């Protein structure tokens, strides 16, 4: 699992700046082995410290500014088995991708294709079972009623029209009619 991105070198002795890709940046202070780049090159952590919003790392085999610069834009990984255990009702985003989405009444709605992180609420990108089109559903308790990662299912209660293409088209046509001053007879 990717937990960081090397953004640049720091100083001349081989330290690198890492942008954390985790909600737990302190994990860098406790981790002794990391895997660098798509090649997953194993590196022992010689030193780590938090500095403002980045992590400064010294890695085995990275001793000069040139060594550090060669790692720019490489991701840092850990084995999935080393992920921090989350409290109940919290999930890693990657665990949600691929889960089936069903209405609370049991009707299949689709499959989570992606999760978009936003400042307000994360959005589930759900490929509709009926239309194949993507539906964006905010991950708020008003809509998401239950998540069962082990069972592979998310139960939701969206507002009418979210997964009903005809309702969405009708609502859109109605809005256009009002804009044009038309009324239904």
DSSP for 78-93?
--GGGSPPPPTT---H
Could you tell me if 43 and 74 lie in one domain?
Answer: yes
With respect to residue 101, please indicate whether it lies within any of the assigned structural domains: yes
Task: Using the predicted structure, report yes or no on whether residue 180 has a pLDDT greater than 60.
Answer: no
**In this structure, are strands 153-156 and 100-103 parallel, antiparallel, or unpaired?**
parallel
pLDDT of residue 169 exceeding 50: no
Same domain, 109 and 143: yes
Give CA–CA dist 59/50, Å, rounded.
15
Closest CA to 135 of 157, 160, 109, 174: 109
Count up the domains in the chain and report the number: 2
Give strand pairing partners of 100.
111, 153
What mean pLDDT comes out for the span 91-111? 90
76/118 same-domain check: no
CB 98 within 8 A of CB 114: no
Among 38, 55, 82, where does a domain finish? Answer: 82
Residues 6+ apart with CB under 8 A from 164: none
pLDDT band of residue 172 (cuts 50, 70, 90) is very low
Q: Determine which of 34-43, 53-62, 124-133 has the lowest per-residue pLDDT on average.
A: 124-133
pLDDT given at position 18: 95
pTM of the model: 0.63
Question: 158-161 contacts: CB < 8 A, separation 24 or more?
Answer: 158/103, 158/109
Q: Are residues 170 and 98 in the same domain?
A: yes
Radius of gyration for the alpha carbons in the chain, expressed in angstroms and rounded: 23
Out of 35, 60, 82, a domain closes at 82
- Here the CATH number for the domain that contains residue 119 is 2.30.30.240
Highest average pLDDT, of 67-76, 108-117, 124-133, comes from: 67-76
| Mean pLDDT along residues 152-180 | 61
- Check whether residue 51 and residue 106 sit in a common domain: no
The alpha-helical segments, DSSP class H, found in 88-182 are: 93-96, 165-179
Question: Looking at residues 19-47, what average pLDDT do you find?
Answer: 91
For residues 7 and 48, membership in a common domain is answered with: yes
Note down the domain range covering 38. Answer: 2-82
């Amino acid at each position: 699992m990717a937990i960081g991105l090397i953004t640049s070198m720091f100083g001349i002795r081989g330290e690198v700046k890492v942008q954390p890709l985790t909600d737990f940046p302190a994990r860098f202070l406790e981790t002794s082995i990391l895997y660098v780049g798509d090649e997953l090159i194993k590196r022992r952590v010689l030193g780590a410290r938090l500095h403002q919003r980045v992590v400064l790392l010294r890695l085995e085999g990275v001793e000069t500014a040139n060594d550090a610069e060669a790692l720019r834009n490489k991701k840092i990984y850990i084995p999935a088995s080393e992920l921090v255990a989350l409290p109940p009702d919290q999930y890693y985003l990657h665990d949600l991708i691929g889960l089936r989405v069903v209405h609370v009444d049991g009707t299949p709605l689709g499959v989570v294709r992606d999760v978009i992180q936003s400042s307000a609420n994360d959005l589930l990108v759900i490929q509709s079972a009926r239309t194949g089109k993507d539906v964006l559903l905010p991950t708020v308790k008003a809509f998401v009623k239950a998540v069962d990662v082990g069972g592979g299912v998310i139960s939701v209660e969206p507002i009418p029209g979210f997964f009903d293409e005809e309702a969405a088209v009708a609502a859109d046509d109605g809005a256009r009619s009002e804009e044009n001053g038309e009324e239904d007879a």
